[in-house]
Amino acid sequence: VSFPWQKREISNFDYLMYLNTLAGRSYNDYMQYPVFPWVLADYHSETLNLTNPHTFRDLSKPMGAQTVERKRKFIQRYNDVEKNLSAQCHYCTHYSSAIIVASYLVRMEPFTQTFCSLQGGSFDVADRMFHSVKSTWESASRDNMSDVRELIPEFFYLPEFLTNANHFELGCMQDGTVLGDVQLPPWADGDPHKFILLHRQALESDYVSAHLHHWIDLVFGYKQHGSAAVEAVNTYHPYFYGDKMDLNNIKDPLIKSTILGFISNFGQIPKQV
């Protein structure tokens, strides 16, 4: 059987939105917001070459395994579980959470207020705020062991979230940079509309169309949990698997509230589709 997506009758964007909806993700729930993949690995070139495979992120691997060194460290963490962690997993943080969504959209209301309320009433330290597409990619794919975040749909259609049109005082970084609009890759020429246009072209490119099913397996499919997830370096803290935990059978109210708080703060694995 050939499905409409395989026959290119619907776009990659529409297919991902469809899968998110099937998996219970919704714009109405920051804790289960639609999740989209990083598709590019090139945020430094002057022009974007969508015919070069090296332009793209490896969609067959989760964000924690994008470099050999990073993958090795997360496997080591998984194997060292008896020594220091309460649960055996590769990742104690998640690729999608309320704070990740609000941090991406912090320059737009009502997300500004949401972000501040999640942060205890104010903006975060400037150096930790979303300020550059390139540095966020480097953090999530290489540099920061507690950052495995993916993207949200807005990265593929909404240029407005990249500009500080409301002139919020987002603070000043340690190197003296005042936070304003999001810093874009050179190939976007400082134009949020051009960034969105090229980023959407990348999502719909032949390379991503040929490899997107690997990422879908990791996030929505059979590599979510079990031995396939272990092999793919794709296991998360047990509390993230909300639908796998029967909260009704947990009698201790403190443990139950801890788990619910954990899920609401740190994210939730989508339902398997």
Q: Amino acid identity of 74?
A: F
Q: Amino acid identity of 38?
A: W
44 within 8 A of 118, measured Cβ to Cβ: no
pLDDT tens string 4-15: 887 788 999 999
221 within 8 A of 272, measured Cβ to Cβ: yes
Give the span between the Cα atoms of 115 and 267, in whole angstroms.
15
What percent of the chain is modeled with pLDDT above 90? 74
Nearest Cα to 213, choosing from 74, 15, 41? 15
136 within 8 A of 104, measured Cβ to Cβ: no
Give the span between the Cα atoms of 186 and 94, in whole angstroms.
29
Give the burial class of 97: count Cβ atoms within 10 A of its Cβ; 0-12 exposed, 13-18 middle, 19 or more buried. Answer: buried
Please state which CATH number belongs to domain 3-266: 1.10.1540.10
pLDDT tens string 114-172: 999 988 888 888 889 999 999 999 999 999 999 999 999 999 999 999 999 999 999 99
Give the span between the Cα atoms of 9 and 16, in whole angstroms.
14
Signed CA dihedral, 233, 69, 266, 80: sign only: positive
Residue spans of the domains in the chain: they are 3-266
Structure tokens at 268: 């939730």
pLDDT tens string 73-130: 999 999 987 665 567 899 989 999 999 999 999 999 999 999 999 888 888 888 899 9
91 within 8 A of 236, measured Cβ to Cβ: yes
pLDDT of residue 160: 98
pLDDT tens string 182-221: 999 999 999 999 999 999 999 999 999 999 999 999 999 9
Give the span between the Cα atoms of 71 and 69, in whole angstroms.
5
Structure tokens at 12: 């990659």
pTM over 0.85: yes
155 within 8 A of 199, measured Cβ to Cβ: yes
Give the span between the Cα atoms of 233 and 135, in whole angstroms.
23
